Amino acid sequence: MIKFRGVNKWFGALHVLKDITLNVEPREVVVVCGPSGSGKSTLIRCINGLETIKNGDLVVDGQRLGDRATNMTELRTEVGFVFQSFNLYPHKTALENVILAPIHVRKIPKAEAEIAGREMLAKVGLADKFNSYPAELSGGQQQRVAIARCLCMRPKIMLFDEPTSALDPEMISEVLDVMVGVAEEGMTMMVVTHEMGFARKVARRVVFMDAGAIVETGPPEEFFSNPKTDRSRAFLSKILRH
Amino acid sequence: MIWQQLQSLIGSYPLALRGLAMTIALSLLSLILGTLIGFFLGVLRTKGNRLIIRVIGAWVDLIRGTPFLVQIFLIFFILPELGIELDAFTAGIIALTNLAACFICEIVAAGIRSVPTGQVEAALASGLSQWHRMRQVVLPQAMRVALPPLVGQYVLLIKDSSVVSAIGLTDLTRVGWLVVQRVPNGLLVFAIVGAGYFVVCYPLILLARRLEKNMNAAHGEVQL
């Protein structure tokens, strides 16, 4: 579903992605973790073209990024992206946020989109918030609207960029619960997160990155209990200490 | 004495109405045209290619850096030299529209730049086309920032329209000059002229204030 082969990227002189090779199968859930600045966000931002790669191959849903034949706008409709800072449209209600892309990209009639949008918002536990503006919602509620906004496009892949790091601790689980639900329905997911509980529960693989390179990959149980490299051990000892 | 002057003033009300109508026509036409062109240029200024951005930037700087009176003279007296015949009304409209477009371009561009990149990324990530990103996501948020200075600019435009009296258009200001020759009481005459402008501008000022309030209430910031 997502194939990185020898992918490199620089920000100026900074080598942010170093020879990345990674294969994500359909319906697979991959958690990406690593210290800040290790390139994990950049990695998943490349997948829907929010960042461009310098060299190597990146194939998403059978389409090679950077090819002339690849229509990025079309590809993006198949790839949902959840941001750390939610990025809901502040001038639109929860329901309007959710139905905007289905109406203008999928060309679904408004009435139909609204039905689907209400259903999706109810599914993430926000049946009473259809007409609320983002400013009237808590962080956890905003992030759940953002996830519903992606799901309404019926994407094939969902990418999550630190979806819970901007949240107060008591709101993290409500967002993670929604994400677990999405994973259990068989969505192909790449999730940048340090939520090890989430990784243990739904991830098939954990990818550990440091300084722009993939250092270690493995099933969550193995990675958490028996990390193979010094760098992953050092990282885990920092995030699991508390 | 003052009684006679007042009577004479009342007698010249048809002229005053014509002047007021001219001022409103000039302002309204150039306001509409200037807004359309200004929005178009403002969007181009943030999204267009580098050459277009440079050209627009240079033109805006040129217009902002020269007196409006000089611009009007250039259009009215120089263009006919080049073989383009213009009546005073058309010249006035062109000059005012150009001025409005330049200021509105800057206001709109500043509004667009104020929209957080995360908003564009979210729109991009959901597959919205450039037109829909602009129309549905960026411009509505840019407007919240741009609207108060935009309406402020409209008020300035109405007041700047008084400069076109210099090329012989009988607007409110010129009516003042004409009347004051018959009624030698400059204070009284131009107080009335000033009141005429104020009557047109004040509703706009009130409108700006209300719009600002409404938009602030409806479109809150995203709280993290």
Task: Compare all CA atoms of chain A with the CA of B116 and give the residue at the minimum distance.
Answer: A87
**Is B119 an 8 Å CB contact of chain A?**
yes
The answer to whether residue B221 scores a pLDDT higher than 70 is no
> What is the rounded distance in angstroms from the CA atom of residue B119 to the CA atom of residue A65?
23
How far is the alpha carbon of B136 from chain A, nearest alpha carbon, in Å?
8
Q: What is the mean pLDDT of chain B?
A: 89
Neighbours of B130 (CB within 10 A): 12
How far is the alpha carbon of B57 from chain A, nearest alpha carbon, in Å?
28
Whether A87 sits inside 8 A of B222 (CB atoms) is: yes
The answer to whether residue B80 scores a pLDDT higher than 90 is no
Neighbours of B38 (CB within 10 A): 26
pLDDT tens digits, B103-131 = 999 999 999 999 999 999 999 999 999 99
Query: Is the Cβ–Cβ distance between B93 and B164 less than 8 Å?
Result: no
Kindly state the percentage of chain B with pLDDT values over 70. Answer: 96
The answer to whether residue B222 scores a pLDDT higher than 60 is no
What are the DSSP calls for B66-111, one per residue? Answer: S-HHHHHHIIIIIHHHTT----HHHHHHHHHHHHHHHHHHHHHHHH
> What is the rounded distance in angstroms from the CA atom of residue A4 to the CA atom of residue A30?
14
> What is the rounded distance in angstroms from the CA atom of residue B28 to the CA atom of residue B97?
10
Backbone phi, then psi, for A208, in 5-degree steps? -105, 125
More confident residue, B4 or B34: B34
How far is the alpha carbon of A135 from chain B, nearest alpha carbon, in Å?
5
Whether A87 sits inside 8 A of B220 (CB atoms) is: no
pLDDT tens digits, B18-57 = 999 999 999 999 999 999 999 999 999 998 789 999 999 9
pLDDT the model gives residue B183:
83
Query: Is the Cβ–Cβ distance between A14 and A211 less than 8 Å?
Result: no
pLDDT tens digits, B185-207 = 889 899 999 999 999 999 998 98
pLDDT the model gives residue B81:
85
The answer to whether residue B223 scores a pLDDT higher than 50 is no
Give whole-number Cα distances, A186 to A161, A165, A176, B158, in Å: 19, 24, 16, 62
Nearest to B67 by CA among B33, B99, B107: B99
Residue identified by tokens 């994990």 is A40
pLDDT tens digits, A62-101 = 999 988 888 998 999 999 999 999 999 999 999 999 999 9
Residue among B121, B127, B128 whose CB faces A87 most closely: B121
**Is B214 an 8 Å CB contact of chain A?**
no
Structure tokens at A68: 């002339």
Q: Residue A33's beta-bridge partner residues?
A: A208
pLDDT the model gives residue B216:
64
Whether B219 sits inside 8 A of A90 (CB atoms) is: yes
Contacts of A166 in chain B (CB under 8 A): 224
More confident residue, A173 or B7: A173
Whether A90 sits inside 8 A of B122 (CB atoms) is: no
Whether B128 sits inside 8 A of A50 (CB atoms) is: no
Give whole-number Cα distances, A200 to A210, A223, B106, B196, in Å: 21, 10, 52, 74
Whether B224 sits inside 8 A of A48 (CB atoms) is: no
**Is B87 an 8 Å CB contact of chain A?**
no
Q: What is the pTM of this model?
A: 0.85
Chain A to chain B, count of Cβ pairs less than 8 Å apart?
90
Task: Compare all CA atoms of chain A with the CA of B223 and give the residue at the minimum distance.
Answer: A135
How far is the alpha carbon of B33 from chain A, nearest alpha carbon, in Å?
27
Residue among B126, B136, B220 whose CB faces A90 most closely: B220
Q: Which residues of chain A have pLDDT under 70?
A: 241-242
CATH of domain B2-218: 1.10.3720.10
Q: Is the dihedral of CA A15, A18, A19, A22 positive or negative?
A: negative
The structural domains of chain A, ordered by start, are 2-88+156-240 (3.40.50.300)
Whether B223 sits inside 8 A of A139 (CB atoms) is: yes
